[in-house]
């Protein structure tokens, strides 16, 4: 895409994000044709927003997540610093079209993984991470219906990024644990709303972390030291509404909470 078209798409998406409004699709003259275009628009939207990048999310790492937004594979999106809140925060659902929450494993990167000729292996990507956190994503989309936007436009829109609740660092020896079978239970107003485990995240959250390292090495500057990478939902996205209290229980890893306003 030409720079003017990238900037036009970024401004349209940013304006809708700021106003809490929706579009059916981007105009033909600035509609992304593929992943590279989508990531270019992501970059431009962040620059135009005046916000800062805090890390990355992966959307659609499970069959349920892919079905929810009607794509056939994962997508990477930016986490904006002003859209990350702490455990127990209240997040507004005003203007949110998706109205779901997701339980996620998030890794903090200790060192950068820049683009290179060979793909990164799971073990070396995991070695570049310094900590594991628990998180709740409250996704959203600037497209209505978001199920018809398609991969390139959803990437442009930060892969349905909304709010992210970042829990404390996991104190348990998580590197020695089987994240694939690690169970997660989602509670809504004290009642079980969903159950899942790490196998929903591309079969293994560590595989998802390697996926995004290689995706960003292909389409961007790679992962950077200090960034948070949230790897996708362990549960089927759980429907929520205003006033709901949500707790994601990760067993002996701890839990993370959010209230929806």
pLDDT value of position 203: 96
pLDDT value of position 48: 95
CB 152 within 8 A of CB 88: no
Residue 220 neighbours by CB distance under 10 Å: 18
CB 98 within 8 A of CB 139: yes
* Measured distance CA(227)–CA(202) in Å, rounded: 21
* Measured distance CA(197)–CA(253) in Å, rounded: 13
Burial grade of 162 (CB within 10 A; 0-12, 13-18, 19 or more): buried
Query: 55-260 is classed in which CATH architecture?
Result: Alpha-Beta Complex (3.90)
pLDDT value of position 64: 80
Write out pLDDT tens, residues 73-103: 899 999 999 999 999 999 999 989 899 999 9
* Measured distance CA(193)–CA(117) in Å, rounded: 44
Residue 104, beta-bridge partner list: 135, 233
CB 16 within 8 A of CB 156: no
* Measured distance CA(254)–CA(251) in Å, rounded: 6
β-strands 100-109, 129-138 pairing: antiparallel
Task: Give SS3 for 193.
Answer: strand
Residue 143, beta-bridge partner list: 23
Sheet of 245-249: strand order equals 90-91, 255-260, 245-249, 183-188, 191-197
* Measured distance CA(122)–CA(124) in Å, rounded: 6
* Measured distance CA(103)–CA(231) in Å, rounded: 10
β-strands 129-138, 90-91 pairing: unpaired
pLDDT value of position 152: 97
β-strands 255-260, 90-91 pairing: parallel
* Measured distance CA(36)–CA(52) in Å, rounded: 21
- Supply φ then ψ for residue 130, to 5 degrees: -100, -20
- Where the chain has pLDDT below 50, the residues are none
Instruction: Say which DSSP state 131 is in.
Output: E
């Amino acid at each position: 895409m030409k720079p003017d078209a990238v900037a036009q798409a970024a401004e349209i998406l940013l304006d809708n994000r700021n106003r809490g409004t929706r579009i059916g699709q981007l105009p033909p003259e600035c509609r992304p044709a593929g992943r590279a275009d989508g990531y270019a628009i992501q970059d431009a939207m962040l620059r135009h927003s005046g916000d800062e990048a805090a890390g990355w999310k992966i959307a659609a790492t499970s069959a349920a997540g892919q079905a929810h937004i009607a794509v056939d594979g994962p997508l990477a999106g930016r986490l904006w610093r002003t859209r990350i809140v702490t455990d127990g925060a209240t997040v507004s659902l005003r203007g949110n079209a998706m109205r779901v929450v997701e339980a996620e494993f998030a890794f903090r990167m200790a060192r950068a993984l820049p683009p290179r000729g060979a793909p990164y292996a799971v073990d070396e990507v995991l070695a570049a991470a310094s900590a594991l956190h628990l998180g709740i994503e409250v996704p959203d989309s600037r497209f209505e219906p978001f199920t018809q936007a398609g991969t390139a436009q959803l990437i442009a829109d930060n892969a349905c990024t909304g709010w992210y609740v970042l829990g404390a660092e996991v104190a348990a020896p998580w590197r020695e644990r089987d994240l694939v079978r690690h169970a997660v239970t989602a509670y809504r107003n004290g009642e079980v709303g969903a159950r899942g485990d790490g196998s929903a995240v591309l079969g293994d959250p560590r595989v998802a972390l390697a996926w995004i390292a290689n995706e960003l090495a292909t389409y961007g500057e790679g992962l950077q030291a200090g960034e948070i990478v949230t790897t996708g939902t362990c549960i089927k996205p759980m429907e929520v509404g205003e006033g709901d209290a949500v707790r994601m229980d990760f067993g002996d890893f701890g839990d993370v909470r959010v209230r929806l306003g």
